[in-house]
Amino acid sequence: MKTLDKRLSARDVVAQLEDGMTIGIGGWGPRRKPMALVREIARSSLRDLTVVAYGGPDVGLLCAAGKVKKVVFGFVSLDVIPLEAHFRRARETGAIDVWELDEGLLQLGLRAAAARLPFLPTRVGLGTDLLRHAPHLRTVRSPYDDGETLLAMPAIELDAALLHVNAADAMGNTRIDGPDPFFDAWFARAAKRTFVSCETLSESLASADLEAARRNPFERSLVTGVVHAPCGAHPTSCAPAYGWDLPHLKAYSAAAASPEQTAAYLRDVVGPDESAWLAGAGGPSHIAALPLPIL
């Protein structure tokens, strides 16, 4: 029986996306973001996307490239640069719509979508300004004797999810070797289609190593396509392979100072393809030598 081969190029992935889609992006701030896929979207003609993320330069770059209609987020930060500069400019100028959520509520919205439920009840957000700033949210009353009023966090359904992992195989098995898989599994389960980029790609990740098997965060049946993208998280980190590129993140942030500088960054740094990006970033050897952040 022929093995199902899910290998794609980054351009193949973007060709399956459409204007107006809701795209979930895994990772966390400046950690393990699928930046090679994000850059390919930035180079494309896609527009009017709703982006769902615990955001970092993925959100900012897509805002800078004019691809975003709305951002649904728990935060958008580069950690050492607290507020992502390109996202900040887009928000302050009214270029995008936003739905700001507590980090836990964003997870609950993904979990509701993953379970094919319309909402999940929670106490999170009650007694805060969340309901004032998001008047579309509703409350529900417990049907049991307690009769408690709870916030009903609606499902955040994704047309597609984009994730980056340390290793994958042609069938869609994945492995995350870093210390924190974040909420990537919920992005994958909330999405109609999931596309994964990876540092290393093999025919099969089958292994008798139980510890390695535990680092497979979600079922291969959820994976639509796999893209081999060495250094594909740069300039974010991909532990334990490499850390974030702080000088690059500073230069990227500085490019938000004016539309002209942003355009120059997109033209000269993001460039026409990933080979140009990697060459400008110092090449794979430079990226592999980036130290992991100590927090």
Q: What are 47-95's pLDDT values in tens digits?
A: 999 999 999 999 999 999 999 999 999 999 999 999 999 999 999 999 9
pLDDT at residue 208, rounded to an integer: 60
For 219, phi then psi, to 5°, come to: -70, 140
Predicted pLDDT at 3: 62
Mean pLDDT (whole number) for 250-278 = 97
Residue 1 has pLDDT above 50, yes or no: no
The pLDDT of residue 295 = 74
Q: Can you list the domains of the chain with their CATH numbers?
A: 7-101+157-285 (3.40.1080.10), 119-154 (no CATH)
User: Residue 204's pLDDT is what?
Assistant: 87
SS3 label, residue 133? helix
CA neighbours closer than 13 Å in the CB half-sphere of residue 33: 29
Q: Calculate mean pLDDT across residues 94-112.
A: 96
Q: What is the pLDDT of residue 4?
A: 87
- What is the residue-averaged pLDDT of the chain? 95
At 209 the three-state DSSP class reads coil
6 neighbors 226 (Cβ within 8 angstroms): yes
pLDDT in tens, 163-206: 999 999 999 999 999 999 999 999 999 999 999 999 999 998 87
Cα distances (Å, whole numbers) of residue 192 to 75, 219, 235:
24, 14, 28
Which pLDDT does position 20 carry in this prediction?
A: 98
Q: What's the pLDDT tens digit per position in 213-241? A: 788 989 999 999 999 999 999 999 999 99
Q: What pTM, to 2 d.p., does this model score?
A: 0.95
Contacts of 264 (CB under 8 A, 6+ apart): 255
Q: CA 261 to CA 278: how far, in whole Å?
A: 20
Using pLDDT thresholds of 50, 70 and 90, give the confidence band for residue 294.
confident
CB 171 within 8 A of CB 138: no
Residue 121 pLDDT > 70, yes or no?
yes
Q: What is the mean pLDDT of residues 108-113?
A: 98
- Which whole number is the average pLDDT over 267-283? 95
Q: Give the torsion sign (CA, 142, 146, 149, 151).
A: negative
Q: What integer pLDDT is reported at residue 89 of this predicted model?
A: 98
